[in-house]
Structure 1
Amino acid sequence: MKIWVPSQAAADVLADLPGVECAVFDGTGAPPDGLEEVEVWVPALIPFGDLANLIPRMTKLRLVQTISAGVDPYLPHIPEGVTLCNARGVHDAGTAEWAVGAMIAVLREFPHFVTEQREGVWAYRFTETLADSTVLILGYGSIGEAVERRLAGFEVAEIIRVARSARPGVHGQEELPRLLPRADVVVLLVPATSGTAGMVDAEFLARMKDGAVLVNAARGGVVDTDALLAELTAGRLRAAVDVTAPEPLPPGHPLWSAPGIMITPHVAGSTPASQRRALKLIRSQILRYLSGEPLRNVITGSY
């Protein structure tokens, strides 16, 4: 069985499996020989740009196992008879850790103090804190649960959980208009879908309370960049974003210099822990596939 994997480390964790032939393809350069024989493809974390041309030529393809939680680049191109699985759980720890760190950094004004340090200025000031605050988690799945676990020690007054559909302890997305004004921090963890594209628009942001913090660990396209820029420029809201639209954010883009925002270059889930868990998932899924056991994290319909 021929498998494409994104790294030599991934090939190494499958090296002892009989009948498995691995080729490393990280999405850059020309694809390896034998494209028509590939049965399982584990794409690189950064999606390959020419999926519409590549996948139809993979005539023996039966499984695409991403190492990302998001699968939006692949969904339009997966043909009938091919199973698509994501990496739910692999990046939970890193993304949740980034989200909580970003909240603290913005509330405690760490970027401001770093600037003051560079200039040799000792400027004492009060800052806000997570203690006694209300945090709204929008997109309450496994990463949302991981964020809540990490908030447990920070004496947060209330956590408001919101998902696409209501369930016990979790509000439905239709309740957002009345919930947003209560939150000091709004954390975005929704997947990129047609239903979430641009959902954080001017109306959404206007419902957030003055001084609230928007934390985007989802996808850049979830947020209307112009609407966010307007709120930041007015000084009414603050933000921490690991994802942007466009992405990468080009030099000179006004978001770089907007007041009250902290930007990181899509690194939330890029940690050694995520790498270890991705390799463990790859091996586990291939073993399941070879033995005919049910696969984990199968994407069916909307996700």
Structure 2
Amino acid sequence: MTATDVWLPIPADEIDGLPDPADAGLNYRYWDGDPEYPADPADCVFYVVPYMKDMEVAVRPMAAMTSVRVIQTLSAGIDHVQPGLHSLPAGVRLCNAKGVHEASTAELTLALILASLRGIPHFVEGQQREEWRAGFHPALADKSVLIVGYGSIGAAIEDRLVPFECARVARVARSARTTERGEVRALTELPSLLPEADVVILSTPLTTSTHHLVDAGFLDRMKDGALLVNVARGPVVDTKALLTELESGRITAALDVTDPEPLPAGHPLWHAPGLLITPHVGGPTSAFMPRAKRLLAGQLTRFAAGEPLRNVVLTTE
């Protein structure tokens, strides 16, 4: 019997535009990480990884998916499924969720920058204590911004920076190229770019080359008073090195992701000076579900028709 199951973390009847199961020869199975599987993983041909679940959940069924042909994440990053890729048969396409999280993550990035520069956490604390904490704070206007990781999310962040009258936006990615907005510099040029940036935004994928990219040397090159914003992955930053800089008061930071994550009670990051923390909420907003459903409907329509899929990150060997 040919495997025909599609595992979805969203009930199929809630996704408009999916191929008709009878016409496409597909069986839609709902699985959002529950202990019990909806069917035999060996019969799954298209696996949509549960969203906002930990790595153990994401990879748990993969070793038994002997017929799988597509792994589709609902996140921009793929690091949470990579440990399970070695167990898959050759020729499996891994697709990410490019197009789903750009709006939400870019919004949060701007919120973190503005909240940090304008002292919003300080004002909230003052409100709770009934204290009128007037004073001078820096603006985003006239600042030099460096975006490290210039994929679709990095580009969406720059789109939203445009009205804020930044003096300069520099872009860095794995390799140099030219875009409609201008030059994208290679990661190797970071040492010369960091001293010029008032705000450094991290939106790079987590890979072996970006793990602890932000180490003591990286932070030391940042100018005094600069703001580091991480909306990428926690391990892109060396937490110990960041704590050293924060405790010195030389730079400030805003983190939507941390290492470790979730951040445990008692961890020194909770009370580090000059730090704003949000609990990995860049993606899960009201903008997520409509975009995720459109992505799945489109991908499965292409899959059923034998057409090329979008967002293919790699193919297993």
TM range (shorter): over 0.9
Candidates 180, 189, 196, aligned match of 1:175:
189
Helix, strand or coil at the partner of 1:228: helix
Shift of 1:291: 0.3
Partner of 1:58: 65
Does residue 203 (structure 1) correspond to residue 230 (structure 2)? The answer is no
Taking the aligned partners of 1:35 and 1:93, their CA distance within structure 2 comes to 33
Instruction: List runs of 5+ in structure 1 lacking aligned partners.
Output: none
User: Is the CA contact (8 Å cut-off) linking 1:177 and 1:204 kept in structure 2?
Assistant: yes
What residue ranges of structure 2 are gaps of 5+ in the alignment?
A: none
5 Å matches for 1:246-285?
Answer: 246-285=260-299
SS in 1 for 2:108: helix
Equivalent-residue separation in structure 1 for 2:101 and 2:15 (angstroms)? 21
Q: Contact between 1:11 and 1:23, CA under 8 Å: does it hold in 2?
A: no
State how 1:78-97 maps to structure 2 within 5 Å.
78=85, 79=88, 80-97=90-107
Establish whether residue 144 from structure 1 lines up as the match of residue 154 from structure 2: yes
What residue number does 2:231 align with? 217
Percent identity among equivalent residues?
Answer: 50
The structure showing larger relative contact order (alpha-carbon pairs under 8 Å, at least 6 residues apart) is: 2
In 2: Cα distance, 1:246 partner to 1:48 partner: 14
Q: Which moved more, 1:216-225 or 1:44-53?
A: 44-53
* Structure 1 residues 78-106: Cα deviation after superposition (integer angstroms, max 9, x where no partner): 22121111111210000001001110000
In structure 2, distance between residues paired with 1:137 and 1:275: 27
Q: Give the distance between the partners of 2:28 and 2:189, measured in 1 at CA.
A: 48
After TM superposition, list the pairs within 5 Å mapping 1:1-303 onto structure 2: 1-8=4-11, 12-13=15-16, 14=18, 16-18=20-22, 19-45=25-51, 46-49=53-56, 54-78=61-85, 79=88, 80-168=90-178, 169-300=183-314
C-alpha change, 1:17 and 1:52, in structure 2 (3 Å) is closer
In the TM superposition, residue 272 of structure 1 has moved relative to its aligned partner by: 1.5
Indicate how the Cα distance of structure 1 residues 118 and 51 shifts in structure 2: closer, same or farther if over 3 A, else same.
closer
Return the offset for 1:21.
1.6
Give the drift of 1:60: 1.2
Deviation at 1:17, TM superposition (A): 3.9
| Residue 156 of structure 1: how far off its partner (Å) | 0.4
Q: Write the distance in 2 (CA, Å) between the matches of 1:48 and 1:221.
A: 15
The one-letter amino acid of 1:28's match is: D
Distance 1:207 1:10, change over 3 A: farther
1:92-144 Cα offsets, whole Å, 9 max, x none, are 00000100111000000100000011100112100001000000000011111
* CA contact 1:10–1:282 (8 Å) conserved in 2: no
Secondary structure of the corresponding residue to residue 201 of structure 2: strand
Shift of the 34–293 alpha-carbon distance from structure 1 to 2, 3 Å rule, reads same
